[in-house]
Amino acid sequence: MLAAIDCLRCEPDRASFDVVALAPKQGRLADELSERGISNFPLQLRDPTGARLPREQVCDNLLKAVRESSADLVHANSLSMGRLSGVVAEELSVPSIVHLRDIIKLSLATVRDLNQNRLLLAVSEATKAFHVEQGLDVARIRVLLNGVDCDRFQPRPSRGILKQELGLPENAFLAATVGQIGLRKGQDVLAEAAILAARRLPNVHYLLVGERNSSKAESIAFERNVICRFDGSEFGNRLHRLGYRNDVPRLMNEFDLLIHPAHQEPLGRVLLEAAASGVPIIATRVGGTAEILSDGESARLIPPDNPHALAEAILELHDQVDQRSRFIEAARHRVCSAFPIERAAGNLATVWAELAG
């Protein structure tokens, strides 16, 4: 499990923040922090065998790391870390914030722990409403929308590098889904839709970008089922697994279509990135997605868990070039005006200053 807590050391006179991280000392996250020059105070979550440490010990490790960092504010970037910061909130002696980036059912104990934090930041109105209904304190929750870097993600001519990498012909139509492989992301629905549409779309190839992070048996079985569904059909050569990639901005410019068949989505960052990159989008009308995109105006939004609707949407956008162009223009205008990364960062800095001041 990758987990992180940001800690802030404030310099009020300069209205600035010194951001440090509390995270495992090894792994992808630690490497990324090092590359960005962000100090990392190691937070031990597992024993040498990889097994999770008892919660009491993790809480002790968290308190120790926060104190060593001399933090003025703790920002937990996941529900699991937010629960831990809530458990130790009274002992922290500094305010703690939790980012609510998921729409998942919470236990009563989790709700209790999260409510011990000073502030809860929801990434969309849908995320806020969902968690308030579960019992999170509405007075503690604010909405802070995700943002996207519209310079890093922008329309650029395709260079054909992905087709070369995969050995595909120039006329191949690349339909991609990007994200963690798991039930909530709905890759199983995409597999069914792809097979339904395959005979009518002989040039469409499906790209599965991302990997499975969970080691639970049900997650392993889900991934195996998605792959077997393709492999068991006569169209198995149309699925291409790209796994984890650190060049998503470049890949976006190679896609002809972004498909996001999620069963639930708080506020999909990949939707913001695809829209900014000029990639036409098909997504399910769930969670905060409708706060980003409008059906028939900037994307095609369909019901979740409906492979037939998804297959028809793929056929529609494959065939209608003008429709794709309209969606591209409207979606980029929408996200670059309403979700710029500068605004999201500024809003977050305002929250930090308010709580740490």
Confidence of residue 8 (pLDDT cuts 50, 70, 90): low
Whether the domain at 5-147+341-356 and the domain at 161-338 fall into the same CATH topology: yes
Distance CA 81, CA 75 (A): 9
Distance CA 108, CA 129 (A): 17
AA letter at 75 = H
Helix ranges, 43-107 (H): 55-69, 79-87, 89-92
Tens of pLDDT along 202-219? 999 999 999 998 888 999
**Number of other CB atoms surrounding residue 217 within 10 Å:** 8
Output phi, psi for 221, to 5 deg.
Answer: -65, -35
Sheet holding 40-42, edge to edge: 40-42, 16-23, 5-11, 73-76, 96-100, 119-122, 141-143
Tens of pLDDT along 171-192? 999 999 999 999 999 999 999 9
Kindly list the domain boundaries of the chain, sorted by start residue. Answer: 5-147+341-356, 161-338
- Pick from 322, 252, 248, 315: nearest CA to 282: 315
Whether residue 11 is predicted with pLDDT greater than 60 in this model: the reply is: no
Say what the pLDDT of residue 15 is. 52
- 5-147+341-356 placed in CATH 3.90.180.10: no
Whether residue 82 is predicted with pLDDT greater than 50 in this model: the reply is: yes
The DSSP line for 22-40 is EE-SSSHHHHHHHHTT--E
Say what the pLDDT of residue 220 is. 92
Whether residue 77 is predicted with pLDDT greater than 80 in this model: the reply is: yes
Q: Is the CB of residue 41 less than 8 Å from the CB of residue 68? A: yes
Whether residue 4 is predicted with pLDDT greater than 50 in this model: the reply is: no
Residues 6+ apart with CB under 8 A from 270: 178, 179, 258, 260
Whether residue 318 is predicted with pLDDT greater than 90 in this model: the reply is: yes
Distance CA 350, CA 233 (A): 53
Confidence of residue 233 (pLDDT cuts 50, 70, 90): confident
Up-side HSE of residue 221: CA atoms within 13 Å toward CB? 3
Whether residue 5 is predicted with pLDDT greater than 70 in this model: the reply is: no
For the entire predicted model, the pTM comes to 0.90
The DSSP line for 305-330 is T-HHHHHHHHHHHHH-HHHHHHHHHH
Give residue for tokens 């409403």: 129
Tens of pLDDT along 122-141? 999 999 999 999 999 999 99
| 40 vs 111: which has the higher pLDDT | 111
Q: Is the CB of residue 122 less than 8 Å from the CB of residue 288? A: no
Say what the pLDDT of residue 13 is. 43
Distance CA 103, CA 286 (A): 10
Say what the pLDDT of residue 356 is. 80
3: buried, middle or exposed (CB in 10 Å: 19+, 13-18, 0-12)?
Answer: middle
Distance CA 292, CA 284 (A): 12
Give the class (CATH, top level) of 161-338: alpha beta
Confidence of residue 316 (pLDDT cuts 50, 70, 90): very high
Q: Is the CB of residue 41 less than 8 Å from the CB of residue 20? A: yes
pLDDT averaged over every residue in the chain: 92
Distance CA 147, CA 243 (A): 24
Distance CA 104, CA 182 (A): 13
The DSSP line for 171-236 is T-EEEEEES--SGGGTHHHHHHHHHHHGGG-TTEEEEEE------SHHHHHHHHHHHHHHHTSTTG
Whether residue 85 is predicted with pLDDT greater than 50 in this model: the reply is: yes
